[in-house]
Amino acid sequence: MHILMADDDKDDFLILQEAAEKAGEKLQLSYAGNWLELWRFILKTLPDILFLDINMPVKNGIECLQLLRKERKYDQVPILIYSTSVSKADIDNAYRNGANYFIVKPNAIDDITKIIKKLISMGKETLIAIPPREEFVIL
């Protein structure tokens, strides 16, 4: 499984790497620090899952989400907003614009490891389907 993380904070990617190793799953992880890097990457390679931060330079995560959802070829890529925000407005905006899930960034690596295991166990078919609003947020 290939996970692409678009986040301007490289430390979050390093934490994701550590959590993935701890999960014991064979994952390929890639990183994009902003919209331009994300766009260049996905033009060449479609990830199995895209983790998308809300607060990024160039274009924020919601703007990236909107652009990606306009392109039919990205319909099969689960886009998971990965943010420290717990704002109802941010969550509603992500849901309305076609994010598959909204993950509130945990502080502990063990919690991130649990999230990775949960996502893998869900399978791509489940991740692609937009869940009911009450199941949209993963804490």
Domain limits of the chain?
2-138
pLDDT value of residue 93: 97
- Whether the CA torsion 92, 18, 23, 36 is positive or negative: it is positive
Residue 139: pLDDT over 90? no
The 10s digit of each residue's pLDDT in 83-105 is 999 999 999 999 999 999 999 99
Residues 6 or more apart in contact with residue 25 via CB below 8 angstroms = 1, 116, 117, 120
What are the residues facing 81 on neighbouring strands? Answer: 52, 102
Indicate the pLDDT class of residue 106, thresholds 50, 70 and 90. very high
Would you identify the CATH topology of the domain 2-138?
Rossmann fold (3.40.50)
C-alpha to C-alpha distance for 93 and 96, rounded to whole angstroms: 5
The 10s digit of each residue's pLDDT in 113-125 is 999 999 999 988 8
Q: What is the DSSP annotation of 9-21?
A: -HHHHHHHHHHHH
The 10s digit of each residue's pLDDT in 17-71 is 999 999 887 899 999 999 999 999 999 999 999 999 999 988 999 999 999 999 9
